[in-house]
Each structure stands twice: as structure tokens, then as C-alpha cells.
Amino acid sequence: MDRSEFREHLFRGQDGLQLYARSYGLAASSGGTKVPVVCLPGLTRNSRDFHELAGFLASPAGGGHFVISLDSRGRGRSERDDDKRRYTVAMETLDLIAACAHFGVERAIFIGTSRGGLILHHLVGLAPTLIAAVILNDIGPVIEIEGLLRIRDYLNAATGPASWLAAPRYLQSIHGADFPILRDDDWHGMAKAIYRDEGGLPVADFDPAIAAQLRPLTADTSLPDLWPQFDALAGLPMMVVRGEHSSLLSEITVGEMKHRHPDLVTVTAIGQGHAPLLHLDGPRQAIAAFVRR
């Protein structure tokens, strides 16, 4: 199999819910020798976000790693949960542990985008021996409420793209100011990652109950920080990627992360907001260099 291609996998979470993942490259059982890489998407995103980066990291140019990219419960091709109360970071951390068991992964480099990074803050308390290294994509121990409110409003908007032809421009109209670096093919790729096809129309590929959880948020909502969990990660090799125009992860928070973890590798994704596309020039090379080390 060409390493730019992928295999599809179905497995069960600890509560029996059917979950989906993609894998790229050779697992240890098939002759792979490198530490595997596990990719965790954002709140309502899915494994397709990592397709290009995963293919690169699985290729000889990217280090020849076995790469796993997950659909969290209720997203992408993972089953929707009848009990909406189970859409939590804690439950999704248990799903991650189940995924590692399914693939026979005893130790991995984890890449967590946004919600995926929050899961990694919890994983260190439940299964620290799984973690060889951590890459946090535009997420840290402190979440800025302004950024979270913007996500709330976008995800709960009543409108969406009227057609596949309109989808890239629709996304650009919402996110373009924060992502001036993106080209037309990037917006087309984002549309294919975010939406699934239903009757020839693009539909956001997640359970709407996940976005609904954000509706009660206000500017006065107090968000707990995760500094104790971050400090538990501080003995591990770690990188943080921050979008230049991010409203969710502040430069002040990144500075404090660096203060607490002097060896932290920090990368700014120029011309991007929340959350950066990691396969673009800049983040892609930085991640490959970090993973090689």
C-alpha cells in the first residue's frame, strides 16, 4: 500500500459505541519500527483534517511513521451517541485509550487539535505511560472565552452552505479574516473535511448535540484552567502550535507554558487562526523535525 493511502478501522469504545479511525503507513506488527503517531481532531472535526499531514508523516520524507487518525464519538464515521451526556472530554479520553488498545499501541506521539489537546491533558492522568511526546495544536491550559464564543456562534448558526459549489466560499466568508494565507484549494480541502454528503448537499459531519453544549456560554462564563494537568505533561517532549490570529490560545498562555516547560517547542502558524492547518508549510516541517527527535 502506498503510504499516502489509508486503511479504515471500526472498533468499540469501552461502553460499546462503534468508533472509526484511519491508519497510514506500517504498524509495528507489519514491520514498522518508528514510534506511532496518533492524531486527535477538534470539537466537531474528524480524521479527515489530518489526511495530508498523516500521509506525509507516514512517507519516507516525513519519517515513515505509523499514523492513526481518529473520529471521536459523534463525529465523522463514528457512531452518534444516544446519551448526549457522554460527549465529554473524560469519555473521549477513554475512547482514546480503547483506540490504542485496538491498534496495539503501547506508546505514541500524540497530536491534539483544540478539543484533542484537552483530551491529552486528561490522558496524562489516566494512562501516562502511553505518551511518548505531545503536540498541542492551538490549545493550552487556558481557553480564552472570546474564542470559545466565536466557535459557539459559528457551530450553532442556523444557516450553512447551500451547495458543494458554495461551501468553500461560505467557509472563507466566516474564517477568511483569520486565515489570509489559505488558497482556493485549501478552502476546498477544508470543505471536504468538515462536511459529509447528504442527497448531494454538504452537511456538517457531527452530532448537533455537541455544538449545542456550547449554547449556555456567555462572556461571563468562568472556564477552569488545566495547569495541574499541563504540569503533569511537563516532563515529556512537547510542542505547541499557535495560530497567528488565534482567539482561543493567547500569547500570554503560551509564554506561561514555556516558563513552566523550558524545553517546550513553540511554533507560530503564520496567516492562520484557530485551528491551524498542520499540513501547510511551516507547521508541517516543524512537526516532522520534532517527531524525528
Q: Can you tell me whether residue 40 is helix, strand or coil?
A: strand
Using the predicted structure, report yes or no on whether residue 31 has a pLDDT greater than 70.
no
Amino acid making up residue 45:
R
Mean pLDDT of 252-275: 97
What pLDDT, on the 0 to 100 scale, is given for residue 157?
A: 85
pLDDT at 3 exceeding the cut of 50: no
| Cβ atoms within 10 Å, residue 265 | 18
Supply the pLDDT for residue 293: 85
What is the Cα gyration radius of the chain? 18
Rounded to the nearest 10 degrees, how much is the dihedral formed by the CA atoms of 117, 195, 209, 22? -50
**Residue (of 145, 190, 201) closest to 44 by Cα position:** 190
| CA proximity to 135, closest of 237, 36, 282 | 237
Pairwise CA distance, residues 57 & 242, whole Å: 20
What whole-number distance in Å separates Cα of residue 293 and Cα of residue 61? 14
Q: What is the mean pLDDT of the chain?
A: 95
What separation in angstroms does the CA of 3 have from each of 49, 121, 232, 287? 17, 30, 34, 18
For the stretch 116-142, pLDDT in tens is: 999 999 999 999 999 999 999 999 999
Tell me the mean pLDDT in the region 230-251.
96
Q: How confident is the model at residue 1 (pLDDT cuts 50, 70, 90)?
A: very low
62-100 residue pLDDT tens = 999 999 999 999 999 999 999 999 999 999 999 999 999
Question: How much is the pTM?
Answer: 0.96
- Give the DSSP letter of residue 103: H
Calculate mean pLDDT across residues 11-31: 90
Considering the chain, what percentage of its residues have pLDDT values greater than 70? 97
Residue 158 pLDDT = 74
Work out the end-to-end distance of the chain between its first and last CA atoms, rounded to an integer number of angstroms: 26
- Dump pLDDT digits (tens) for 181-210: 999 999 999 999 999 999 999 999 999 999
Q: How far is CA 155 from CA 59, 210, 215, 266, in A?
A: 34, 9, 10, 29
Contact status, residue 139 vs residue 63, Cβ threshold 8 Å: no
Count CB atoms within 10 A of the CB of residue 159. 6
